[in-house]
Structure 1
Amino acid sequence: MAAKESTHAESTLIARSVQDYIERNPIKPGKYAAKRIFAGEKVQITEIAFDAGVELPDHKARTPILVQVIEGSVDFTIGDQLHSLAVGGLLHLEADIMHAVYAAAPARITVTFLSQ
C-alpha cells in the first residue's frame, strides 16, 4: 500500500520504503517519468523513474540540487565528467549547470531542489 503523506508542523512523511516510490510513480516502458513528491517552502523533491536504456538529455536546474539513487543505477554526466551512481549514491550540483542522466537498466532517483 502506498504511503499517505502525513504532514505535521514539524515533519512530512514522504516515503516509508522504495515500494512507496514504485507504487506512486511506476516505470513507463521506453520513457522516464518525473513526479513531484513533495513541495515545501524551502525545498521541492521530484522522483524520476527510468526504463532501461532511457536518457534524460542535457538540461539544467534553476536552483542547486541533490540527486540520490533509490533503485538501480544511473550515469550522471556533467560536461565531460561521468559519475556512475548506484543505490544510495548522492550528488550535489549547483544551479544552472548543464547535466544529463542515463539509465542502462530500470532505475529511480530523487532530485531535491534547494531554495537559494
Structure 2
Amino acid sequence: MAKLIHTDNELSAKDKSIKKVFGNEQSNIVNIQLKAGEGIPEHDSKNPIFIIVRSGTVKFVCPDEEYHLKDSDILYMEAEELHSVEAVTDTDFLVVFLK
C-alpha cells in the first residue's frame, strides 16, 4: 500500500535534526538536516545504507576515502563501514537502512 511521507524543514528552528520518517520489516528511513558546519561523529551502521541527498552539500569521511555529495547524489555503504558526516552547506538528506 502506498504511503506519502512529508518532511518539514527543521533548520529554521535548530542546527541539526535527525528524525525517523519510516520503518517496516525491510527498511528504515531517517531524514537528517544539518546547518553548514554541523556534523555527526564517526560511527557505523549494522546494516547496509543508502544516503540520498535532497539539497545542499555534505561530506562523508570514510577511513580510505572522502565523498562530497550534492543535490540528487546517492551513496551506498556496506554494513559496519566507519564514516563521519559534515555539512558543507545547509543540507537535507535521507538515510535508508536496509534490513
Percent identity between matched residues is 30
Q: Which runs of 4+ in 1 moved over 3 A?
A: none
Equivalent-residue separation in structure 2 for 1:66 and 1:32 (angstroms): 20
Q: Tell me if structure 2 keeps the 8 A contact 1:32–1:56.
A: no
RMSD value, Cα: 1.4
Q: How does 1:24-43 map to 2 (within 5 A)?
A: 25-27=9-11, 28-29=13-14, 31-43=15-27
Q: How does 1:58-69 map to 2 (within 5 A)?
A: 58-69=42-53
Paired residues, what number? 98
Q: Which has the higher contact order (CA 8 A, sep 6+)?
A: 2
- Secondary structure of 1:13's aligned partner: coil
Structure 2 residues without counterparts, runs of 5 or longer: none
Instruction: Return the offset for 1:13.
Output: 1.6
Q: How does 1:1-116 map to 2 (within 5 A)?
A: 10-15=1-6, 21=7, 23=8, 25-27=9-11, 28-29=13-14, 31-115=15-99
Equivalent-residue separation in structure 2 for 1:93 and 1:36 (angstroms): 19
Deviations 1:83-112 (A, max 9, x none): 111111001101111101111211011000
Equivalent-residue separation in structure 2 for 1:42 and 1:50 (angstroms): 26
- Which one has a larger percent helix, Structure 1 or Structure 2? 1
TM-score by length of 1: 0.78
Larger Rg over CA atoms: 1
Q: Tell me if structure 2 keeps the 8 A contact 1:55–1:103.
A: yes
TM-score by length of 2: 0.90
Equivalent-residue separation in structure 1 for 2:68 and 2:85 (angstroms): 10
Equivalent-residue separation in structure 2 for 1:32 and 1:98 (angstroms): 21
Instruction: Return the offset for 1:32.
Output: 2.1
